[in-house]
Amino acid sequence: MSIRVRVPATERLELTQGDWLIVKQYLTAGETRELMRASSRALAVPIPDAGAVAAAPRMELDPLAAMVAIVLAYLLDWSFQGADGKPLVIAHQPANVVRAALDHLAPDAFQEVLAAITTHDGAMRQAVADEKKTMSNGAIDSDKTLTSVG
């Protein structure tokens, strides 16, 4: 049997000007669903000629919401300071506090955070894909089976 739960882990991402981010290494299934939900919006116009399927809610990607959602999904802490030189505390804060801190960043600073996290997300997705390629494909591994007795 395989273990399908990841141990929570973090990574430090280095930024310019000596700043850094602490992010989740991987997202859980629940965090991924929340990221997808927060990145979507209901379609404003019903889809014509879709029959009974048209009654079901339709969603589409909201690119602006997706930028913030991926940052909120991964970001745990950072080294950023406010204009007064005091740390901008986001560690262990609710999402609305972190979102407010993100909203107050200079646009280039937010873009750097977004780029670092997006790159990290891509690397983690690739690591998972690579991990799946090296896992057993269902074939019996003779090194892991019990030898017969007697």
pLDDT digits (tens, 9 = 90+) for 105-144: 999 999 999 999 999 999 999 988 888 888 755 444 444 4
CA distances from 101 to 26, 82, 95, 119, 125 (A): 23, 9, 10, 21, 27
Domain-located, residue 148: no
Domain-located, residue 58: yes
CA distances from 71 to 48, 56, 76, 122, 150 (A): 35, 29, 9, 13, 59
pTM metric for this prediction: 0.78
Domain-located, residue 22: yes
Q: What is the percent of the chain where pLDDT is above 70?
A: 79
Q: In whole angstroms, what is the distance from residue 96 CA to residue 72 CA?
A: 10
Beta strands 59-61 and 40-42 are: antiparallel
Does the pLDDT value for residue 76 go beyond 50? yes
- Whether residue 54 contacts residue 47, with contact meaning beta carbons closer than 8 Å, is answered with yes
| Tally of domains within the chain | 1
Q: Which residues constitute the domain of residue 70?
A: 10-42+54-133
Domain-located, residue 119: yes
Higher pLDDT, 71 or 58: 71
Domain-located, residue 49: no
Domain-located, residue 3: no
